[in-house]
Every structure is written in structure tokens, then in C-alpha cells.
Structure 1
Amino acid sequence: MSEMPPPAPNGWRVLALWLAGIALVGTACVLLAPSPSTPGAARGTDPVELGVELEAPVVAARVVPNLAGLPEASTFGTVANAPQDATPEEVPDGQLVHPTTPVPVFDQPGGAAIAILPTTQLGSDTWVPVIADGPGWIQVLLPSRPNGSTGWLSTQDTTLDSRSTSDRIVIDRAAFRLTLYRDHQQIGTWTVGVGTPAAPTPAGRTFVLASMTDAKQKFSPVIFPLGIHSATFTTYGGGPGTTGIHGWPTTDVFGRPSSDGCIRVPADALATFTNPAEPVPIGTPVLIR
């Protein structure tokens, strides 16, 4: 097996989700009225405590921000004031957090509240990657527009569940290649289809947002929406234009630009991702080059 370099440190139905690049018409690939599956726990994703450095005592009186009118940091939302990811080429270290109640997202430690992070996304629990931390604060990737959005969560003001994963997904658009790593070892690599030049697959680091199934569609037994959106379509079939990883019923789409932004993968890749013994967990970091 090939060895992956260590990642950089710190680094049910839904009424209508439409994924850019998912449709049965032309090159599009739109998902109609999807139903999520409940993702299983993956090896290496047992709950763990946040680092000691995140448990510093509160030195000032707790200030509860006014959350009225704040946008939701979800695949349907836009957080206009979200800080941009400063190192989009780095793979997060695999620390993930899940809000047990909706929590405020801040623009910086001790700064202004800019959004609310919900407890679920598309029927799956919200798990977001941690990309930086400090006393009482963690910076996370957000699944909202614009792409590359991040935000800070206070570990003092809210209860956050935490776990870690050693899974990483790397997608090389030029080589039409998706590789899954676990414990820095290559688990599988597959030739895939990516977005066309008119609707490219967006680059940068993101994460697996949810795991979904839909009996009404036939192109993929499971779909993995990601925390990024099409840069071509501000909306797609009336939805937010979420980019995802999914299968396809024919093989002619692999090894070339063939979608409206989604990553189309072979059946054996999906089988590996959904292996009951070691499924790819929600929140798994994804790097698109």
C-alpha cells in the first residue's frame, strides 16, 4: 500500500436537496427528494476528549451573542462574513466536532457572531473538521457558501462532542483520480469523472457532509454531499448547487470531465466507502487538487 504523508497539524428525507453535477439529463446530476442513511461509526472515530489547550478557564464573563437573524451555516446557507480558509491545500489532522445544540459561529476568537451551526445536515449529524485551535476556541470548516468558509466555535459557551478519524480523501482533478487513505495508508484508488471546464469541480479542502440514499433515483446507491458548492451554478434545479461524490450506471464517464461538478466514482469505490466494518465517517476531510 502507498503511504500518505502525515496531514498538516490542526489542521431523510429532505424536502429538496439538489446536488450540482447529479442528474440523469445530459451531463447534469440532480438529486430529487433524497433520503439520508444513518452513517455508522467508523474505526478510529470513537468519541475523544478535546485537547487540554481547549479547556482553558474563562477569564471574562460569558457574553451570549444575539443570534436573531443570523444565517445558518448549512449547505443551504451563505455566511458572507465568514473568514476564508488560509491554507486550502492542507489536509486537516482529522479532529472533528459535532454541536449537540445549535451553536453560534464567530468571525474570530471573542469576535462577532456571524452564523449558527445546526446539529444536523441533510439528515446526518453535523461533524465539521477542526483546522486550528486556541485557548477556549476552535476554528472549523463550514459547509455554507462561499466555498472555503470557516468559523470559530467557543468551547466555553457550548458543549461540543469530539472524535477523530484517520480517513482522508484526495481527489486529483487533472489525473481523474480519487484516493482514500486510512492511517496514512492507501486503502483504494479509482479513476473517476469530474466536472467539465464549463462547470468544474471546485478545488480546495472540504469534508464529507452527509451520507444519503434515495430509492427514486437509479444512478447511485449512496450519495455523499460535500461541504462545497458549484462555482458555476448559484442554484441548481432550485437548490443550492452542492457538490457531491456518487456513483454512475455507466463507465464511460470515468477518466474524463463528465459532470456538472460532482465526482462520479465506480461501484467498488462506493462499496469501500460504505463497508459496514469500516465506513468512511461523516466529517472525513477531503482535499480536491
Structure 2
Amino acid sequence: MLAAVGVLLGAAPAQTACPDVPAPTRARAWRAELLGNTPARTRLTRTATVQIGPRAAGALLVLGPARLLDGRCWVRVRLASRPNDAAAWVETRRVQLRATRWRIEVRRARREVRVRRDGRIVRRFRVVVGAPSTPTPRGLFAIATATRGAPNDFYGAWVVSLTAHSDVLQRYDGGDGRVALHGRGGASLRDPLGSARSHGCVRLDNAAIGWLVRRIGSARLAGTPVEVR
């Protein structure tokens, strides 16, 4: 079982220590599962808050160690909104912190996805990445949501949306330019694996993305770190 830090909503006494939540590495990261609509601070020292909720992402990637301020513990998390480095602070008592041993790496130049568990590469997949005019954005992101699709449709068997957004397209296909890992079917099969022809998304064979969802677990995908190089 993965380590978990339980928390309860409501009034809480002042804390004198925070849970040990190290920065994400290739061997381990932390997911902050949202228990409901949660107030967050864009800056730790500010009282003004924004609201984040599980509809945007069931869990958010924790970006660094927990910090104690005014008797409360906070963690900084990656948001699913623009810009791509958007982050905010949430109280640890308002989320469920769980460790994850999984990490996904997208190598644009190699046109390859590497899946790591405990820091070790367990699978490699050839993929289609963004075209030169609509590149897959670089950075440290996280999985936001996962939606099952139809294998023969353009997006294939699964659409695994990331917190990343296109650096070029503000809107795409009726959405906000969100980047995803997704399968292949229909017209998307015309672009061979190992090519750079997408609008920024990363396309995998249906068997590959199906393996990814099953192996990590659809309920545990959100908050999994995804690094694009």
C-alpha cells in the first residue's frame, strides 16, 4: 500500500510539525486528492484565495515539501489551469496526501514515452508528438483526468488529459487547448508512431495507453507527474 496522510475537514488545532512531503523525484511523488471544493492561496502569505475542485482534477501534483504557517500546514500543488506553471497552496488538512511510485516522461526528440515505477523504466512506447508549429509543451505537469473513448475514434481508447496547455493554440476542438495523452484510431492512424504531427497532444497505440491506465489504475491516475522534455 502507498503511504497516505489522512486529514479531516473542519476546525483543527494549531500544528507544530508538517507531514514529510519531499519534492517529486523519479522514484516517488505525492498526490493531493481533493475532498471537495478547496480554497487555495496563489501565494502562501496572502489570505485571498481561489477555489479548486475535483471536477478539474481529482488530485493535484505536490511540488515541494509542506510548510508551516500560522499553525497550519500547506503544500504547493500544480494547477490544471493556464499558465502551464500555475500553482497554489492548499492546507494539508483539506486534502488526502498519497504517495505515488509512478512517473511518466515524454521525450519529444526521441518521440517516446517512458513509464517509470520506483525510478526504474518499466515500459517505453513510440508516440506521435506535436508538430513543429504546434509543439508539445515542455515542463513538469500532472495527469488531470482520464476518460474512456471509442477505440476506432480519432482519440482512441483513452484520453488522459494533463495540466498542460498548448503554447500556441488558445482554443482547440472546442476546448481550452488542453494537452493530453490519448490513443489512436480513425484518421489519427495516418500519422505513424515516431512522427511529430499532432496539435500538441501525445498519441499512443490503444494497447499502450490501455496498459498505462490499467497498470497505474484509473482512480489513481490524477496527480501522477508527467515530465515533457
- Normalised to the residue count of structure 1, the TM-score between the two structures is 0.65
Unaligned runs of 5+ in 1: 1-43, 60-86
Between the two structures, name the one with larger relative contact order (CA 8 Å, sep ≥ 6).
Answer: 1
Q: Quote the residue 1:227 is aligned against.
A: 163
Deviation at 1:50, TM superposition (A): 6.2
Q: How far apart, CA to CA, are the structure 1 residues paired with 2:151 and 2:121?
A: 34
Q: Quote the residue 2:19 is aligned against.
A: none
Q: 1:35-70: per-residue Cα shift (whole Å, max 9, x none)?
A: xxxxxxxxx55x61169xxx98259xxxxxxxxxxx
Residue 45 (structure 2) pairs with residue 120 (structure 1): no
Residue 49 (structure 2) pairs with residue 111 (structure 1): no
- Percent of counterpart pairs with the same letter? 25
Residues 215-224 or 168-177, more deviating: 215-224
Cα distance change of structure 1 residues 108 and 137 upon mapping to structure 2, 3 Å threshold: same
Deviation at 1:188, TM superposition (A): 0.5
Q: Whose strand proportion is higher, 1 or 2?
A: 2
Pick the aligned partner of 2:5 from 36, 49, 57: 49
Instruction: Tell whether the 8 Å contact from 2:103 to 2:224 is kept in structure 1 after alignment.
Output: yes
Q: How far apart, CA to CA, are the structure 1 residues paired with 2:120 and 2:106?
A: 16
Pick the aligned partner of 1:134 from 62, 67, 78: 67
Deviation at 1:181, TM superposition (A): 0.6
Deviation at 1:266, TM superposition (A): 1.9
Q: Whose helix proportion is higher, 1 or 2?
A: 2
Q: How far apart, CA to CA, are the structure 2 residues paired with 1:234 and 1:252?
A: 23
The alignment partner of 2:145 has SS state of coil
Q: How far apart, CA to CA, are the structure 2 residues paired with 1:253 and 1:114?
A: 45
Q: How far apart, CA to CA, are the structure 2 residues paired with 1:235 and 1:99?
A: 27
Q: How far apart, CA to CA, are the structure 1 residues paired with 2:179 and 2:117?
A: 23
2:223 maps to a residue whose letter is G
Cα distance change of structure 1 residues 106 and 92 upon mapping to structure 2, 3 Å threshold: farther
The alignment partner of 2:222 has SS state of coil
Measured on the aligned residues, the alpha-carbon RMSD in Å equals 2.8
Deviation at 1:272, TM superposition (A): 1.6
Instruction: Tell whether the 8 Å contact from 1:176 to 1:192 is kept in structure 2 after alignment.
Output: yes
Residue 212 (structure 2) pairs with residue 279 (structure 1): no
Q: How far apart, CA to CA, are the structure 2 residues paired with 1:253 and 1:149?
A: 33
1:190 maps to a residue whose letter is F
Instruction: Tell whether the 8 Å contact from 2:151 to 2:157 is kept in structure 1 after alignment.
Output: no
Deviation at 1:268, TM superposition (A): 2.9
The alignment partner of 1:120 has SS state of coil
The alignment partner of 2:173 has SS state of coil
Q: 1:157-180: per-residue Cα shift (whole Å, max 9, x none)?
A: x52122111000001101101000
Q: Quote the residue 2:82 is aligned against.
A: 145
1:226 maps to a residue whose letter is L
- Normalised to the residue count of structure 2, the TM-score between the two structures is 0.81
Residue 191 (structure 2) pairs with residue 255 (structure 1): no
Aligned length: 208
Residue 138 (structure 2) pairs with residue 207 (structure 1): no
Q: Quote the residue 1:268 is aligned against.
A: 207
Q: How far apart, CA to CA, are the structure 1 residues paired with 2:213 and 2:190?
A: 20
2:31 maps to a residue whose letter is L
Q: How does 1:74-113 map to 2 (within 5 A)?
A: 93-113=28-48
Q: 1:60-93: per-residue Cα shift (whole Å, max 9, x none)?
A: xxxxxxxxxxxxxxxxxxxxxxxxxxx9x97694
Q: How far apart, CA to CA, are the structure 1 residues paired with 2:15 and 2:217?
A: 38
Q: How far apart, CA to CA, are the structure 1 residues paired with 2:81 and 2:38?
A: 15
The alignment partner of 2:36 has SS state of coil
Cα distance change of structure 1 residues 216 and 259 upon mapping to structure 2, 3 Å threshold: same
Residues 217-226 or 266-275, more deviating: 266-275
The runs of 4+ residues in structure 1 deviating greater than 6 Å are none
Pick the aligned partner of 1:195 from 105, 116, 130: 130
Instruction: Tell whether the 8 Å contact from 2:102 to 2:216 is kept in structure 1 after alignment.
Output: no
Cα distance change of structure 1 residues 56 and 137 upon mapping to structure 2, 3 Å threshold: farther
